Amino acid sequence: MSVLSGKKVILGVTGGIAAYKTASLVRLFIKAGAQVQVIMTPASVDFVTPLTLSTLSKNPVHINFFNEEDESAQWNNHVDLGLWADFMIIAPATANTMSKMVNGNCDNLLIATYLSAKCPVYYAPAMDLDMYKHPSTLSSFEALKHFGNIMIPAENGELASGLSGEGRMAEPENIIAFIEKDLESKLPLRGKKILVTAGPTYEAIDPVRFIGNHSTGKMGYDIADAAANMGAEVVLISGPTHLKPKNDAVTVVRISSAEEMYTACHEYFDSVDVAIAAAAVADYRPKNVAAQKIKKNDASFTIELEKTKDILASLGQIKKKQLLIGFALETENEIEHAKQKIQKKNLDLIVLNSLNDSGAGFGKPTNKVTFIDKNFVIEPQELKSKEEVAVDIVNKIVSHYA
């Protein structure tokens, strides 16, 4: 999955011949999963139609502060547009527009939005080679860099003048690649490797039957996605579930039993920076597993159980540099039981769930958790979607390494 997925993008289009490339650029943003709003300068409509960009972006195109033909129309609020975006890109960025960006010459909606934006701003220069090398243009580059704007360098190639040289706007594919690489380099968990467990375990009774639980695995899968979205390399060890990660970068190791999860966790644990044990691992398993399906003969049936290995405690015993996060699902004396688990299993943080809380537990899209760290600092959270809870958990990891 592209790092652009879910990003809110403002594309500013200015009046240069390279504006024709923005149709492809919008399409590539949408294909990567981004939301795009286009702002065009009045001069740019001579090079590419608003209808084209509106159709491709699936949003109205903004050109003026208000619709001059409709006195009752709502004005285009440049402040709201600037606050909406995760980042802004101006492509093509003509010499004229860059000069306005540098000097605050706010004579159109695009520049007004640029001056209001609180997000990162990329710009892709496009002009003839002599203009590109002119001292005033070079001065604009320096000033924009000083302002914190990020230049996507122009490429060498054939120019509108018929000459060939530097000044050609970067191709849409190269613009997308540049932004993806830049965003990835700034992700807070880049370079970290995280192990996540998720889902139930199935403990065999015979070849047909098993002992399991109601865990769907959603909380663990959401954590894995959130960690990968923040740049981490993620290994997800998953019990039986129909779920798949949304982020293609997540490596999934599928297991069935508690013993298989134990083996997989110990295989990866030494190489990770963080382990998050969100799986609902069976505490007991049948002591003897029948080789053939057990026939329904007697009125009653007894299964002798034995304890499974405590995966989280075993990891706590051997951890070195790892940050170890566990989950506790309790029904009574929740805080005290969670504190005992922190000490017993050598955890850095525990995520407490109580089945007494409405909206929490297995098979629900929401969760209500309490964070308790190894110093017993308690942080109760509001009821949230599991996706939001996952982000909160991953943000705890980000804070640890900040």
Tens digit of each residue's pLDDT (9 = 90 or more) over 218-240: 999 999 999 999 999 999 999 99
φ, ψ at 71 (rounded to 5°): -65, -20
For 29-58, give one letter per residue: b (16+ CB within 10 A) or e: bbebebbbbbbbbebbbebbebeebbebbe
What is the residue whose two structure tokens read 């769930």?
353
Please determine, for residue 365, whether its predicted confidence score (pLDDT) is greater than 80: yes
Higher-confidence position of 162 and 328: 328
Burial of 383 per CB tally in 10 Å (0-12, 13-18, 19+): middle
Range list for CATH 3.40.50.1950 in the chain: 8-185
Average pLDDT over residues 320-329: 94
Q: Which CATH architecture has domain 193-290+300-401?
A: 3-Layer(aba) Sandwich (3.40)
Q: What is the pLDDT of residue 76?
A: 62
Q: What is the pLDDT of residue 73?
A: 52
Tens digit of each residue's pLDDT (9 = 90 or more) over 41-100: 999 999 999 999 999 999 999 998 765 555 555 556 777 888 899 999 999 999 999 999
Average pLDDT over residues 382-396: 96
For residue 157, give every residue at least 6 positions away whose Cβ sits within 8 Å of its Cβ, in sequence order, or none: 164, 168
What is the residue whose two structure tokens read 């203009």?
131
Please determine, for residue 291, whether its predicted confidence score (pLDDT) is greater than 60: yes
What residues does 192 pair with on adjacent strands?
none
Report how far residue 169's alpha carbon sits from residue 73's, in angstroms, rounded to the nearest whole number.
Answer: 35
DSSP 58-82: TSPPB-SSS-TT-TTSPP--HHHHH
- Which of 97-101, 193-197, 330-334 has the weakest average pLDDT? 330-334
Q: What is the pLDDT of residue 360?
A: 65
Residues annotated as part of the active site: 213
What is the residue whose two structure tokens read 């999934």?
252
Average pLDDT over residues 104-110: 94
φ, ψ at 193 (rounded to 5°): -115, 130
Q: What is the pLDDT of residue 160?
A: 81
Whole-model pTM?
0.82
Q: What is the pLDDT of residue 69?
A: 54
Name the pLDDT band for 268 (thresholds 50, 70, 90). very high
Q: What are the C-alpha distances in Å from 319 to residues 3, 29, 141, 223, 279? A: 31, 42, 50, 21, 19
What is the average pLDDT value for the chain, to the nearest integer? 93
Tens digit of each residue's pLDDT (9 = 90 or more) over 204-217: 999 999 999 999 99
Q: How far is CA 213 from the centre of its chain?
A: 29
Q: What is the pLDDT of residue 332?
A: 82
What residues does 351 pair with on adjacent strands?
327, 371
For residue 55, give every residue at least 6 positions away whose Cβ sits within 8 Å of its Cβ, in sequence order, or none: none
Average pLDDT over residues 11-22: 97
User: What's the full length of the chain, in residues?
Assistant: 402
φ, ψ at 329 (rounded to 5°): -110, 110
Tens digit of each residue's pLDDT (9 = 90 or more) over 139-171: 999 999 999 999 999 999 888 878 788 889 999
Average pLDDT over residues 297-314: 92
Range list for CATH 3.40.50.10300 in the chain: 193-290+300-401
- Which of 20-24, 78-82, 345-349 has the weakest average pLDDT? 78-82
Superfamily (CATH H level) for 8-185: Flavin prenyltransferase-like (3.40.50.1950)
Q: What is the pLDDT of residue 162?
A: 81
